[in-house]
Every structure is written in C-alpha cells, then in structure tokens.
C-alpha cells in the first residue's frame, strides 16, 4: 500500500513539473544581411562592421539558456559558386542557416560571424519564407526574428505582403529590425515587417547612435520575451493544477 502511494506521488510530480521544462517558450533567429551594399562606408567604418557588432551586442544580452539560431541573407562568393552558375536566380535564392536554433549557442554564432564576406543582393522575402518554414520548432510559443540589414528587398520580392498574408493565420511570429543607415524608402518597407508582427524597429543613422539604439531595442525585446515566458508558465501551472486536483479527487476515492 505504501509503495503504491509513493509511486502515485512520483507520478503527480512528473505530471506537473516535466511539461514546464520540456521546451523553451521563445525561439529567436538572428538574420544578418551580408549583401554587397554592406561594404558601403558608414562614417569611419563599413556598414558591415556595425551590422556584425549589432549581432554581437544582441547575443551579449541573451542567456545561455535562450534558444537562438543564425541565418544570413546572401552567401559567401566561394560558397555561391559551388552551387553552379552565379546568375540572378542564384543571387536571389542565396541564404545559409549557419547555426540551428539551440540553447548555449551564443559563442557558436559569434564564431560564424568571422567568416562572412558581404556580396550579392537582398532576397528578404525568400529568406523570411525559408526561416519561418524551416528554422523554428513547432513547440515554440513565440518565433522571434531579429533582422539586421541596411535596406529592403531588391530581388523583386514583397516581404511586407508576404508577412501580412502570413499573419492572417499566425499569431506566433514577431519580427524586430535593426537597420544600419537605411534610406527613407527602405525604412517604410522594413517598418511594415515590424508593425505587422508587433515587433520593434530602429534605424541607426550614425555610429554615434549605435550603442544607445542597440541597448534600447534589446531591452524591449528581452522585456517582452520575459513577459511572455511568465505568462506561458502561469498558464501551464494552472493547467497542471487542474490536472493535479482531478487526480487527487480520484486518489481519495
């Protein structure tokens, strides 16, 4: 009899607590634009220097327990040539998933940054499609993209239209954008991505704005992520409490 009670207590413990730790409620994918325009000067350095630094600063605000991955818009020239003829189609489908979404992944992503060479175009719609369809797990309550770019689509795609259509049937996607010296026309398109998904947008006009701008957007992103995690855990605890009370009633009977 005592042994039976012991096993029932263990069962209740597993029923309540294991589902709370089974997966992360938020998964983050950082997408870095490595198109040729990143070679353009941005005051004292290249745009790409600040784009990479933005990724590093974002990673530094994360915890090792955060689930994060890394994808590029574009591809290194040598890697692109391995795919065959380097024509417009090849340039407008060039993207690489360099790091799968995983925990304890910040150092791996930083190492991936060192070998990236700006080249090619910016097929943003194509890359967002790949990212949403292939990079996130089904279990994540929030699938968050942080896009670091210096401009908008230039492969005749329509990222804004794609995201608006996607959000008609999805509520689990959020896109945040860190723009490096983007033009007014590009800003309009990029802001559409964030407004359609309730994300955040910053455009870093000069290097002097860099630190404050990155601090501002990472603070907003991390605050919302923590708020979502608290809300989801409360919901799970409530669900498990109902199951627990039901089980206790059956146990008393």
What is the per-residue pLDDT across 157-201, written as a single tens digit (0 to 9) for each?
999 999 999 999 999 999 999 999 999 999 999 999 999 999 999
**Non-local CB neighbours of 51 within 8 Å, separated by 6+ positions:** 32, 33, 38, 148, 149, 150, 178, 180
Answer yes or no: are the C-beta atoms of 152 and 110 closer than 8 Å.
no
Closest by CA position to 176, among listed 139, 214, 207, 138: 214
The pLDDT score that the predictor gives to residue 70 is: 98
How many CA atoms lie within 13 Å of 75's alpha carbon, on the beta-carbon side?
18
Q: In this structure, how many other beta carbons lie within 10 angstroms of the beta carbon of residue 65?
A: 8
Note the pLDDT of residue 239.
Answer: 57
Compute the mean pLDDT over every residue in the chain, rounded to the nearest whole number: 84
Q: How far apart are CA 122 and CA 92, in angstroms?
A: 7
Residues 244 and 15: beta-carbon distance below 8 Å? yes
User: What tens digit of pLDDT does each residue of 27-79 get?
Assistant: 999 999 999 999 999 988 999 999 999 999 999 999 998 999 999 999 888 87
Averaged pLDDT, 117-131: 95
Check residue 87 and give its pLDDT. 82
| Angstrom distances, CA of residue 126 to CA of 66, 72, 82, 157, 205 | 26, 11, 20, 7, 27
Query: Could you tell me the domains of the chain?
Result: 23-252 (3.40.50.410)
Instruction: Please report the pLDDT score of residue 76 as a whole number.
Output: 85
**Distance between CA atoms of 61 and 64, rounded to whole angstroms?**
10
Tokens, residue 119: 């080249």
* pLDDT for residue 13 is more than 50: no
pLDDT digits (tens, 9 = 90+) for 214-243: 989 888 887 777 766 665 566 555 555 555
pTM of the entire structure?
0.82
């Amino acid at each position: 009899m005592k042994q039976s009670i012991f096993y029932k207590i263990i069962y209740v413990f597993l029923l309540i607590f294991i589902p709370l730790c089974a997966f992360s409620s938020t998964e983050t994918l950082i997408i870095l634009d490595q198109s040729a325009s990143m070679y353009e000067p941005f005051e004292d350095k290249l745009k790409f220097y600040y784009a990479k630094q933005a990724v590093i600063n974002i990673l530094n605000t994360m915890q090792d327990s955060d689930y994060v991955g890394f994808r590029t818009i574009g591809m290194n020239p040598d890697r692109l040539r391995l795919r065959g003829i380097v024509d417009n189609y090849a340039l407008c489908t060039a993207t690489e998933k360099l790091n799968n979404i995983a925990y304890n992944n910040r150092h791996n992503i930083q190492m991936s940054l060192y070998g990236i060479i700006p080249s090619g175009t910016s097929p943003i719609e194509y890359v967002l499609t790949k990212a949403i369809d292939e990079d996130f797990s089904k279990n994540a309550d929030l699938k968050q993209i942080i896009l670091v770019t210096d401009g908008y689509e230039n492969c005749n795609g329509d990222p804004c239209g794609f995201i608006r259509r996607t959000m008609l049937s999805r509520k689990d996607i959020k896109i945040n954008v860190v723009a490096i010296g983007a033009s007014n026309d590009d800003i309009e398109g990029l802001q559409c991505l964030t407004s359609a998904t309730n994300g955040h947008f910053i455009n870093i006009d000069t290097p002097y704005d860099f630190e404050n701008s990155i601090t501002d957007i990472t603070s907003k992103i991390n605050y919302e992520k923590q708020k979502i995690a608290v809300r989801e855990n409360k919901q799970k605890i409530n669900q498990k409490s109902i199951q627990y009370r039901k089980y206790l009633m059956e146990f008393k009977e």
